[in-house]
Chains A and B, each alone.
Chain A
Amino acid sequence: MKKIFIYALAGFLFTGCTKDFENLNTNPTKLTEVGKREMPFMFAKAQSSSAMNRSFYQTVQNLGADLYAQYFATSVTSFQTDRYVTVPDWQRRFWTVVYVDTAPQLRAILDNAEPNSGEQALAQILWVYSFHRLTDHFGPIPYFGAATPETVILYDDQDVIYDDFFKRLEQAVTDLKSLPEGTAVFENYELMYNGDVDKWIHFANTLRLRLALRISAVDPARAKTEAEAAVASGVLTSNSENASLAKSLEGNDTNGLAQVAAWNEFAMSSTIASYLKGYQDPRLSKYFQPDLVNGQYNSLRNGLPPASLALPRNTSAQNSNVGSYWVTPSAGTFTPDLVARFHIMGAAEAYFLRAEGVLNGWNMGGETAQNLYEEGIRTSLSQWGVSEGDVTNYINSTAVPVAPGDSENSPAVSNVPIKWGEGEAIQRQQIGTQKWLAIYPDGMEAWAEFRRTGYPAMYPVVQSDNPNLPSGEFIKRLPYPLTEEVSNLTELNKGRALLGGPDNVATRLWWDID
């Protein structure tokens, strides 16, 4: 009797084998290996993330750079970033976007795709696109060690990072050009050009041109080399090549600007209102729409204190939301077009960059600065459906900005006219101003170029609540996220040393010199 129980117990024990354990411990809803099959999906993920998907657009871009670029001003009291208060958790979110959601996907492709392949080239270009926005917010950042599984990751100086940007772009373009004619990379997966290699080449070269101008004050020689090489290789020249991302209702992949515009917590900034109204700019009705109460194009100043925001004139309902490309009014609220393609970069920008290059004395394809300037305007206006006749009138207009008619009775923000002026100083201002108008709503690029060039002329924020920015000063960068103090403190302190100033909003970046 006892024996039987002992046998039973033994049988029970030894049939309980562990051979099924590996199987049990594999999650069927996840992938544990990624290879060629997953690469296109990973690239698409990196694309969607690097341009701020719905979850990140508001806190990373809309309440930051979009305000600093003075396209928009906040019309509610819920946010203080318009008065230059920074929110460390939002800074962390930008790092999440780049380091967690974008870079690991790109590194996987760079490590595993065929050397010099189209896949690698696209990953290189997107890498540069993603990191240039980050470094232009913070300065020195962990770069070469990004997306490596280390517990300590070094910060790199911005000049070294820029040097790497140029190398990557040059290599990528070379590799793309060596592909057979008509090759499509990541076709049916890629969100911007559906894999069209020619368009990617022009995009990469325009990005290279943008970065060259960014360093044109701090490193003029390198800037010239890179800019001329980029133009020679072929930049964006037509709206048909404009870069924008496909969007989807699925997941978090909706158009971030459309989403936040539906919440209607910001409106047209008086700065852009002064220009658009003064220029009688046909883009006014594209970029913005009449307010809900008075049916007028109304704006408010950046940096209004809560007491001013309490005035009826400054409420969201009495100011202009973004245009119908993003939202349409319905029963007092706004319905977003959540799948509107998301703007990345247009051909107009390339013309303005080249125009500035000509003023720098660079060979920008043999065109004159004026031609390029006017072509930039033409391209931008036609992108928004303005007729050829109106375009010509606009280019020849001597109109200047006007008082926007806001609660602060602001005067005109500047007196710069549209029509190509005499003298380099005004021409640079015109190029800067028109480029700023053309790249709307890309606040990230607009803020970077404002810091570099000082254009367009902007109103100072009405009130700065950041003690490091006395009134009249504009914000120069964002402080590092607090999470770095916890998980990478030693390197953070070295990064702060590279910054060449305190880790606050008043310290200028490497390329930001007068």
Chain B
Amino acid sequence: MKRKFTNKVSILKVMLLISFGILLPFWGLAQNVKEVQGVVLDQANQPIMGVSVGVENGTEGTTTNEDGRFFLKVPDNAILVFSFVGFESQKIPVEGKAELTVTLLESQKELDEVVVTALGITRNTRTLTYATQNLAAEEVNEIRGNSGNIMNNLSGKVAGAVITPAATGPGSAARVVLRGNKSISGNNNALIVVDGVPLDNSTRSQATSTFNSYGVSDGAASINPDDVESINVLKGPSAAALYGSRAANGAIIITTKRGSEGSVAFNYNGGFSVEQPVLLMDFQNVYGRGNGGVADPTGAESWGAPAQTYPDNVKSFFETSSSFNNSLNFSGGTEKIQGYGSYTNNRNGGIVPDNALDRNTLNLRVNATVLPKLTTDAKITYLNQNIKNKPRQGDTGTSMGTYIMPRDMSEEELKDFEGVNPVNGEPLRKYWTNSSIFDNPYWDVYRTSVNEERNRVTLLGSAKYQLTDWLSVMGRYSFDRYEDKETGSFYDGTISLGSVQPGGQYYERFSTFSERNIDVLVTGENDLSADFSINYNFGAAILNRTSQSVQNMANGLSIPNQFNLAFATTPSFAEIIDLNREMQSVYGNVQVGFRDQLYLDVSARNDWSSTLPAPHSYFYPSVGLSAILSDMINMPSWISFAKVRGSYTQVGNDADPYLLSQLYNFSLGAQEGFVNRDATRAIGNLKPEETNSAEIGIDWKFFNNRLGLDATIYKSNTKNQLLFIGLPMASGFGRQYINAGDIENKGIEVALTGTPIEKDDFTWSTTVNFSRNINTILELTPEITQADLSASTRMATVVAKVGGSYGDLYGRGWKRNENGEFLIGANGLPVMESNMKLGNFNPDFMLGWANSFSYNRFDLSVLIDGRVGGEMVSGTDSFLGYYGIGDYTAEWRDGGLVLPGVLETGGANTTAIDAQTFWTAVSQNGRDAWGEFFTYSTTNFRLRQLSVSYNIPLENTNLIRNAKVSLYGNNLFFLYRGKATLDIDGMKKRTIPIDPEAALGIGNYQGVEAGLPPAVRSFGLNVKLSF
């Protein structure tokens, strides 16, 4: 039924709106409105910011500002309700007073926490039927690493979250997986939602092999930590059923700051930090260039004769970088209109020379009460981000090029990276040996550069109309658009890229992404009887996403090193990728409460996605129940609060666009060019993916809330997986999508919070997070029981195998006989076996332990976290082995290494070999190593954060009203790092040479690395001032 509104109807609508608008204030005025202001303090007489101040049974309301002050116009007989997280609510009658001072008592009975859930709906945690975890703004804007990505600050703080930073320097992306990987070949990252609107967190390209790649920033890297008010992590799909498929992996709900009523207040948050590489690998410092013990001045490897070595040559290449953060915001407003504005500048230096990020964020937000029942919220965020000279990752990357420099190469020799071409006077590449693979890392840094500039504008506008005191309707529009410009310049003679044509290479890639959301939401609440209450939301949304990328390439410059398209020898317009998609949705959610003790939550959603074949539609429901046991039955007094909850959710998931019909590609070439069938096979009968998940949790508090336990067990099954699997290569398709499979994730998350010491001047509070996830691949297809997730077979392949788990790593290893003894060949070397299971990249369980101590005006916080289990195949290490760089290669150089094991023909091995023979054989040039020899446990524990802060005492009359200074360290040191899984008798035990948690990219290609840069440790100073 489509209804067209005639002009008459529209006029009628407008008139009705106007009359409502005019009549209602009059009705209100009849009651004698009065202006009330005041301050809200805690028991220590410190102002509390963010306290919600509302009129009982009314719609008026505000929150306190940084000074704890509020301003509100209310009827003079109104009763004000003050509520805030962790404090007892208070009701105070106005009774004609103009100034109120309110002291809130810290909550003893229960924690009435309010969190922002799906669609920006604020809910009391007691009513939630699923697990969430809340983080305050300080968690993300006081302690920073130089990645500039807010997601990296969640590490160790959220039970069940595995955060994997791409080690690509400032502006790098981060993989955030909640409760295990669910999709074999699709996206496993959690959805990020800012102020009720999903944020595009896609990344254009991520490493899919250990071959060279440049990191690409993600959407989350665009979030300004200084604008964040709070973060709420909705871990399961149940929490996010209302966002639809994109939230099947859980959601991270970010609420940003808004203005509050009162005079204009300014806040400054500034920081300075230095970052230094935490060099994790140990080098041999005896032997120099050469092979077989023979010195060779042009040798690439360090298998030569003993020589003068330079133990710190690698370290001296990496720099100690510095980062600055300056953020200024203001907020203020009147009863009718409140504004918030901020400007933030981040300059983050990288440890690779010349690599840096410069980011400017402007944010403006206006909240207004246009008519008494009509409120609006408008926000505009503009971001400009420049990442300069991104380091190349992977096996021909800048870091790898540094690690493998000969041990007898001095800093000065390394820095002598170019000469002058006598023919044209241009730089002439200098490398210490003949290599078609590597360049001098200084050449990489100064004669190749890939830069990325992003301009992003995010608009949000919403209007909410209170139809009656129990029903409101909200319309919301959001628009997010960013444009990335990436430029790459490579001097003539650059080898490491493999494809730079004479004269040099230059390219420009313009990518635009835009997302538009329009939604309408009707929200209501009613008391059905004295015991039953109901609240409900019904909505509809249209989501459009488009993305486009255009690349102009000048591979070959007629005027050498003149980096502009105009000098192209053969200009080419390389590619356009369009991703246009639309989703239409209707959804509803009803919650019925019984005596504020028992809540039943039901939701349902139907999506229509343009990426699916007709009828494009899929439906999914969820149901949940929560009960506050402590209110329902009498409990011992030491139990302060007890809640149990349970939910069952289904989430559908559409697919990428353009999978339905077979694609053919055009490319340029000799004569008129080429057309080829795309290597991915189309799937005409594509079905949506479906995740069914159930969770049960408890939330209990004991001893006057001094101890809290929040635990959840869950199980989810993802079926109709959009598997992107390998076909027999002979089919002519590298890969195809199929709908099949069943992946199960089950696990437990526990958060234990306690306040062991609580005295007037000293408090110690502590939180322990524990999580364990078990993943099982129950089914692929009847014919296929194994699928490789990556096309790359170097070092190891990520494989999905029935009965195995997501993230299993397979590769070549050392063959054993039936007794488990190692087999040795006649040449004294290990016998190789292919397709051997080497490990799994997921941790078995994770632990986080956060402590905060406050003593008078000092606060000290310590975060230790760790992961147990999980493996990584280190290509970095195989290069260290191949090139004779690792400390372990110093042993057995003169031979005499008789490997422990038996000959294939039986009998003990007696053939002695030398170290080079061994490491060369198992590392296979480094690039194609027998993975098992370089597989490490990624178990690690580290002191992730340590900070001390001091609140400077200031008189209220000063210009500066509040000042806080913090000193911190981030990623300080490892308490434990994993060892090589293969223990070879007579050989040194090896410790993982890189950061066990870092990765080349944030896609599903995990667990294999090559050339990761060193982990970064930072020390910083942060200052917060309020004016």
Q: Which residues of A contact B (CB under 8 A)?
A: 1-2, 4-5, 7-16, 18, 20-22, 24-34, 38, 40-42, 44-45, 48-49, 54, 75-80, 85, 87-89, 92, 95-96, 99-101, 103-105, 107-108, 141-142, 145-153, 188-191, 245-254, 260, 263-265, 305-312, 315-317, 330-333, 335-336, 338, 465, 467, 481-489, 491
Contacts and interface: CB of A to CB of B under 8 A. Distances in A.
B311 interface: no
Contacts of B293: 307
B491 to A, nearest CB: 13
Interface in B643-678: 657-658, 660-678
B423 A331 contact: yes
Contacts of A21: 582, 608, 610, 614, 616
B928 A88 contact: yes
Contacts of B435: 76, 78, 265
B542 to A, nearest CB: 5
B663 A13 contact: no
Top 6 nearest A-B pairs (CB, nearest first) are A307-B292, A263-B436, A142-B730, A45-B674, A250-B668, A310-B296
Contacts of B1: 10, 14
A250 B290 CA distance: 39
B304 A48 contact: no
A332 B495 CA distance: 14
A504 to B, nearest CB: 11
B788 A483 contact: yes
Contacts of A27: 578, 657-658, 663
B535 interface: no
A202 to B, nearest CB: 21
A201 B921 CA distance: 48
Nearest to B730: A142
A88 B657 contact: no
Contact of B493 (A77, A79, A142, A333): A333
Contacts of B436: 76, 78, 260, 263-265
B728 A89 contact: no
Contact of B658 (A26, A147, A148): A26
Contacts of A40: 672
Given A15-B2, A151-B784, A310 B304 contact: yes
B294 A311 contact: yes
A119 to B, nearest CB: 14
A250 B673 contact: yes
A55 B670 CA distance: 15
A40 B835 CA distance: 41
A32 B540 contact: no
Contact of A42 (B581, B676, B783, B825): B676
Contact of A88 (B3, B296, B586, B793): B793
A25 B421 contact: no
A148 B291 CA distance: 49
Given A2-B467, A30-B663, A249 B675 contact: no
Contact of B732 (A31, A103, A245): A103
Given A85-B921, A484-B728, 19 more contacts: A8-B520, A16-B608, A24-B580, A25-B610, A28-B578, A42-B674, A42-B675, A77-B299, A78-B925, A95-B729, A99-B731, A148-B732, A152-B783, A188-B671, A191-B670, A310-B295, A483-B788, A484-B729, A491-B728
Contact of A251 (B16, B580, B615, B667): B667
Contact of A105 (B584, B676, B792, B835): B676
Given A14-B1, A27-B657, A263-B436, A315 B669 contact: no
Contacts of B799: 486
B804 interface: no
Contacts of B263: none
B555 A249 contact: yes
A27 B656 CA distance: 12
12 contacts: A14-B1, A40-B672, A99-B731, A100-B679, A251-B572, A482-B834, A485-B835, A486-B786, A486-B799, A487-B727, A488-B728, A489-B786
A4 B829 CA distance: 82
A96 B731 CA distance: 10
B575 interface: yes
Contacts of B569: 249
A87 B928 contact: yes
A142 B677 contact: no
B915 to A, nearest CB: 12
Contacts of A248: 668-671
B672 A25 contact: no
A408 to B, nearest CB: 15
B294 A153 contact: no
Interface in B475-521: 493, 495, 499, 501-502, 520
B704 interface: no
A152 B296 contact: no
Nearest to B304: A310
B203 interface: no
B728 A150 contact: yes
A400 B788 CA distance: 54
Contacts of A250: 570, 572, 667-670, 673
Given A25-B610, A92-B793, A153-B731, A11 B291 contact: no
A222 B584 CA distance: 66
Contacts of B784: 151
Given A1-B16, A18-B584, A78-B436, A331 B661 contact: no
A25 B2 contact: no
Given A92-B729, A103-B732, A310-B294, A151 B783 contact: yes
Nearest to A186: B671
A30 B678 CA distance: 9
- Most central of A16, A142, A145 by chain B CB within 10 Å: A16
B797 interface: yes
A79 B826 CA distance: 22
A45 B578 contact: no
Given A11-B3, A251-B674, A31 B666 contact: yes
B1027 interface: no
Interface string B289-307: 0111111101111011000
Given A10-B1, A467-B825, A467-B829, A44 B673 contact: yes
A315 B540 contact: no
A332 B428 contact: yes
Interface string B304-342: 100000000000000000000000000000000000000
B522 interface: yes
A485 B728 CA distance: 9
Interface string B782-799: 011011100011100101
A134 B783 CA distance: 27
Contacts of B793: 88-89, 92, 482-483
A422 B339 CA distance: 103
A390 B728 CA distance: 53
Contact of A307 (B294, B676, B734, B834): B294
Which among B5, B520, B732, B787 has the highest number of chain A CB atoms within 10 Å?
A: B732
A31 B797 contact: no
Contacts of A148: 731-732
Interface in B246-274: none
A92 B679 CA distance: 14
Nearest to B668: A250
A5 to B, nearest CB: 5
Contacts of A95: 729-730
A4 B730 contact: no
Given A38-B664, A148-B731, A76 B433 contact: yes
B227 to A, nearest CB: 31
Contacts of B85: none
Given A14-B1, A27-B578, A76-B300, A246 B670 contact: yes
B44 interface: no
A12 B728 contact: no
B434 A88 contact: no
A486 B788 contact: yes
B519 to A, nearest CB: 9
A6 to B, nearest CB: 9
